[in-house]
Chains A and B, each alone.
Chain A
Amino acid sequence: MSESQDKHSQQQDHFLRDLKETLDASEKSIDANTLGQLRAARREILSNSVRSEKTQQVRPGWWMPVGSLAAVATVAVVAVSLWSLPPGQMLDEQISTAEDIAMLSGLSLSDSGLSGNGLSDNSLNDSELSDAEALELYENLDFYLWLDDEKKAG
């Protein structure tokens, strides 16, 4: 390398070093207000990030497998008990519900179309009595009471 080239290279290095030092100094001379704003922005970004990360994370605790097993067991027990129940038993329960309603409303079982041992001959049979009908009877209770009074009076 010639002497002039060497000198030029040295000058270049010196020049670049000066620029770098000036830039370093300019970084240090950033005012406190700006530094505060940068710090506040950084803190806010990080705290938001941590917060959103926490809400997204559902940490599996000890109760999760236990709870799942309990839920599965409950569903299985209900399904098996419903499946193994004889059809007549379900009907009996519905009828006893209807009997309760009739008793509460002051109607005799024969008036309400129900016989003491389960079904009346003329109005109800195994397939007809349903929850909907029992509900209907209950909803029209006033009418049946009026009908009963009329019958007693007449």
Chain B
Amino acid sequence: MRDNTNLGTTTTTTTTTMGAPLANVAMTLDQFLASVETRAFRMAMIATGNREDALDIVQDAMMRLVKKYASRGPEEWGPLFHRIVQSVIRDGYRRAAVRNRFRIFFGYKGNQDESYQANTIEDPIEARFATADPQPDEQLAQQQAMQQLDTALHHLPLRQQQAFLLRQWEGLSVRETAQAMGCGEGSVKTHLSRATKTLREQLQGYAFFNDSV
């Protein structure tokens, strides 16, 4: 988990509510959200594969945190924010699943891939070539690795994806991950193990990860 300990030092007097020193709490919240928004956006982007959806998810999560939990202590914001983000992503999946069921039921022949799980991730490599901006080899290799990893993560089942990102990337403990995902610690371990196994299998063909796989 990223180090947010610096937040605590400035907010020892603002553990009550937004009503106390209002400007202090708003400033601390601003710092906290600034420190987590990009990672939350990446997680949402991996989950949805769509930039606008990802932005909506992060905005929604920030709004819920500020509205409902601003009065909590800053040390609680991290776990709460992760929980909200994962919950909003799950809600989006459910809505997309219902939409798809309706489309299938009514024989909708449009873009079948228009689901949350759809592969609508923009290809950064193609984008780079399109702008005719020559990149050094290393950067290009990293771009490709990102793309491969994004695709592999995107195609994982949502629970495995969440367990992997929260535990391995965000660095939450098993207990914190379970709280954020709203499931048991045993489930987290199972999801994580399956996710890691799948990722190893999927990425072993790619040069960037070949050394370790």
Q: Specify whether A and B are partners.
A: yes
A22: Cβ under 8 A from any B Cβ:
yes
Interface residues in A1-56 by Cβ distance below 8 A to B read 11-12, 14-20, 22-23, 25-27, 29-30, 34-35, 37-39, 41-43, 45-46, 49-50, 53-54
Bound Cα distance from A43 to B149, whole angstroms:
32
Bound Cα distance from A23 to B150, whole angstroms:
9
Bound Cα distance from A14 to B213, whole angstroms:
8
Do A15 and B209 contact each other (CB < 8 Å), given the known contacts A27-B39, A34-B41, A49-B26? yes
Do A41 and B58 contact each other (CB < 8 Å), given the known contacts A15-B212, A22-B142? yes
Instruction: Say whether B19 contacts A57, CB under 8 Å.
Output: yes
B146: Cβ under 8 A from any A Cβ:
yes
Question: Which label, helix, strand, loop or mixed, suits the secondary structure of the A interface?
Answer: helix
Instruction: Say whether A54 contacts B62, CB under 8 Å.
Output: no
**Min CB gap A67→B, angstroms:** 22
Return the contact of A12 from the options B22, B145, B165, B196 (Cβ within 8 A): B196
Contacts of B62 in A (CB 8 A): 41-42, 45
Bound Cα distance from A42 to B39, whole angstroms:
14
How many interface residues does chain A have, given as a range? 20 to 34
**Min CB gap A39→B, angstroms:** 7
Contact surface of B with A, Cβ cutoff 8 Å: 18-19, 22-23, 26, 29-30, 33-34, 37-39, 41-42, 51, 55, 58-59, 62-63, 66-67, 70, 142, 145-146, 149-150, 165, 168-169, 196, 199-200, 208-209, 211-213
Excluding A29-B146, A54-B22, 20 further A-B contacts by CB distance (< 8 Å) are: A12-B196, A15-B200, A18-B209, A20-B168, A22-B142, A22-B145, A22-B146, A23-B42, A25-B142, A26-B42, A26-B146, A30-B38, A34-B41, A42-B34, A42-B37, A42-B62, A45-B62, A46-B26, A46-B29, A49-B26
